[in-house]
Amino acid sequence: MIQEKLMYYLSEHPSIVNFRWNHTQSWGSTWSFLFTSISAYVFLALLLNLLLFNRRRPVPLGPIPAIHALSMALISATIFTGILFSAAAEIRDTRWFWRRNKTTAFQWLLCFPLGTRPSGRVFFWSYIFYLTRFLHTLRTFIAILRRRNLSFFRLFNHSILIILDGDRTPECVLPVRNQLSDVTARV
């Protein structure tokens, strides 16, 4: 019963099944937004670091870092589960296509066939994952307020991951790549 409800809300809901990643309708998916937001992120991080440069003690944040970490863990678990259920549903629904094109489930899992439109379940979760990348940038500001050194690597890492997840051409979206890039970025 619970698994059926989870499957419905994570892969069979009409807003997920009918999703279409369109640069004019999907919030934040234009190149101008992408580069403007990354520029603003780098600028604000450097500005905050300069403003707090002479401060010896960290800014008290209370439970904010823990709440942020918990919320990101829950969001990541939801996205992983959604992609897992969605990939299974897409495999189930498109087996006829594989026989015609001689594609295996493993090949489909690694990369979509040429000509795939950016719509449907897996693209919905890819889009949600892309949007959560902006929430990950809050880690930088939390680190600055805690008086940890702002490194070039941190700015570069968050910026590049946003660009990689925002660069969506239908043939190159990997259903599993999103979660794998998140895991490798933390290692």
Instruction: Report how far apart, in Å, the C-alpha atoms of 7 and of each of 60, 79, 106 are.
Output: 41, 12, 22
**pLDDT value of position 57:** 86
pLDDT-derived band at 47, boundaries 50, 70, 90: very high
177 pLDDT more than 50: no
Residue pair 151/109 in contact by the 8 Å Cβ criterion:
no
Query: What six digits make up the tokens of 25?
Result: 């309708």
pLDDT band at 62 (very low <50, low <70, confident <90, very high): very high
Give buried/exposed letters for 95-125 (b at 16+ CB in 10 A, else e): eeeeeeeebeeeebeebbeeebebebbbbbb
User: Per residue in 124-172, pLDDT tens?
Assistant: 888 888 889 999 999 999 999 988 888 888 889 888 888 887 665 444 4
Exposure class string for 42-67: b at 16+ Cβ within 10 A, else e: beebeeebeeeeeeeeeeeeeeeeee
Of 93, 94, 81, 90, residue with least CA distance to 5: 81
Residues with Cβ within 8 Å of 17's Cβ and at least 6 positions away in sequence, in order, are 11, 120, 121
Dump strand ranges (E) for 43-169.
none
pLDDT of residue 46: 92
pLDDT digits (tens, 9 = 90+) for 78-103: 999 998 888 888 777 776 565 666 66
Residue 185 banded pLDDT, cuts 50, 70, 90: very low
Give this prediction's pTM: 0.77
Quote the CA–CA distance of 137 and 132 in Å, as a whole number. 9
The domains of the chain are located at 29-55+64-186
Q: Confirm if 72 and 137 have CB atoms less than 8 A apart.
A: no
* Phi and psi torsions of 55, nearest 5°: -75, 125
